[in-house]
Amino acid sequence: PHSRLKDPGTYTPKDEEKWSQAKRIFRTNSFFAAEMIEHYIKAHLQMEQYTIAAFRNLRKNPVRLILSPHVKSLVNINQRADEVLVSPTIGLVTTNGPLIPASVVQICKESMATYDWKGWKPRQPICESHTFAKITNLYWQVLTEYIDAFFEDYQEEIVKEWGEIHRLSDDIIEHSV
């Protein structure tokens, strides 16, 4: 889209070969956008900034007990993802996709800078057969109850070591995209 090298075009199924080419280009770009944004950026890069801040700051605060099992391997997994997905020479996205490595870095920065998870909740079911949304909401409810119980059980110790949580927050704010 918006190429300076060629005038824009619109194709329909009546255009046969051009339609097939347009669909292929759309599907390729959609795949790489999903791989980059939904997988690599949201699952890997976004979580890494929280993980590193937690490793730097949580020593005595019980919050580390709830976070550690989920983030202990994340940095190692991300190093592998960097190689497999975005390495300039062998990365799936950078060598097979529509973007050069510098564009990949630019998209990562621009996308991550827009995320705000405050108040996030899973999507509500849109109909009775929307089982994925129902299961997601059930999982969210169980997770919320578990975390609430954890904070009730450890409240005194969490408050006692609150300085670590404050440093964690400052670290995330200072170093996040």
- Torsion sign over Cα 102, 100, 85, 118: positive
pLDDT in tens, 64-100: 999 998 888 888 888 888 888 888 888 888 888 777 8
* Nearest alpha-carbon partner for 83 in 94, 96, 74, 70: 94
Q: What is the DSSP string of 68-126?
A: HHHHTTHHHHHHHHIIIII-TTT-HHHHHSS--HHHHHHHHHHHHTT---TT--PPPPS
- Is the pLDDT score of 54 beyond 90? yes
pLDDT in tens, 102-160: 888 898 889 988 888 888 899 999 999 999 999 999 999 999 999 999 999 999 999 99
pLDDT of res. 63: 97
Rounded to two decimals, what is the model's pTM?
Answer: 0.72
Distance CA 138, CA 140 (A): 5
Put residue 55 in one of left, alpha, beta given phi > 0 → left and psi -120 to 50 → alpha.
Answer: alpha
The two structure tokens encoding residue 126: 């849109």
